[in-house]
Amino acid sequence: MKQILVIEDEPEMRRNLLTILKLEKFQPLGAENGRIGLEMAKREKPDLILCDVMMPELDGHGVLEALRQDEDTASIPFIFLTAKGEKADLRSGMNLGADDYLTKPVAKKDLLHAIAARLLRSEQTAQREFKPDFSSYQPLLQLDLTPRVAEVLLWVAQGKTNGDIATILGISESTVKKHLLEIFAKLGVETRSAATLRALEALSSRT
């Protein structure tokens, strides 16, 4: 049974999320602020974390930054829960290493889809024994890509959609598509999955 930690300071929202997760046979944990959530994450090491951005004591960005700096929690899939219109917060959060974001109020279908996608990617990465470091696109330059195109591939490898990447990098979606076609051509691949595999290999340190 997968354990999911919900860090959310709004009681009703937190209860709703915990109820949905419990009914879907997950093992949910709840934390009412970022400080408590961070302590629980380090103690329990959940399979995935859902975290609000704006919270008292320690906001979502602070929680994510602390988790990514700790080797024991650095690879836990992390999904931000954001209010509408928090574009700037979203971009900075993704740059810190968030895996995804959901806009509140969260539809059950979108919630479960995002969770399933992140858990699957986490399992696939573990099975392939990849240990990718997503902190920089520099290793991707060895694939004969320009810095901007390598930056796009870095986010593709983390499962982001073209729309997500456009928002994170502050460019148009059509520009993202153009860079993606260049990635396919340079790597000699035809799909995002194949490009992701090449990127994970380049970003991983083999033991």
Mean pLDDT lowest for which of 4-13, 20-29, 129-138?
Answer: 129-138
Residue 20 · residue 106 · CB < 8 Å: no
Q: Following DSSP, what letter does each residue of 88-138 receive, concatenated?
A: HHHHHHHHHT--EEEESSPPHHHHHHHHHHHHHHHHHHHHTT--B-TT-SG
Q: Which residues contact 169 (CB under 8 A, 6 or more apart)?
A: 151, 152, 155, 176
Residue 20: count other Cβ atoms within 10 Å of its Cβ. Answer: 17
Q: What is the pLDDT of residues 119-153, one digit of tens each?
A: 887 777 666 666 788 889 999 999 999 999 999 99
Q: What is the DSSP letter of 1?
A: -
Q: Is it the case that residue 207 has pLDDT exceeding 60?
A: no
| CA–CA dist 64, 11 (Å, integer) | 21
Entry pTM:
0.67
Quote the pLDDT of residue 128: 62
Q: Taking the domain 3-127, which CATH number applies?
A: 3.40.50.2300
Contact between 131 and 144 (Cβ < 8 Å): no
CATH of 138-203 given 3.40.50.10860, 3.40.50.300, 1.10.8.590, 1.10.10.10: 1.10.10.10
Give pLDDT, residue 66: 93
Q: Read off φ and ψ for residue 143, nearest 5 degrees.
A: -85, 15
pLDDT-derived band at 75, boundaries 50, 70, 90:
confident
As a 3-state breakdown, the chain gives helix, strand, coil percent values, each rounded to 5, of: 55, 15, 30
Domain map (residue ranges) of the chain = 3-127, 138-203
Categorize the per-residue pLDDT at 39 as very low, low, confident or very high, splitting at 50, 70 and 90: very high
Higher pLDDT: 205 or 20? It is 20
**Which residues does residue 7 pair with via DSSP β-bridges, in sequence order?**
31, 51
Distance CA 40, CA 32 (A): 11
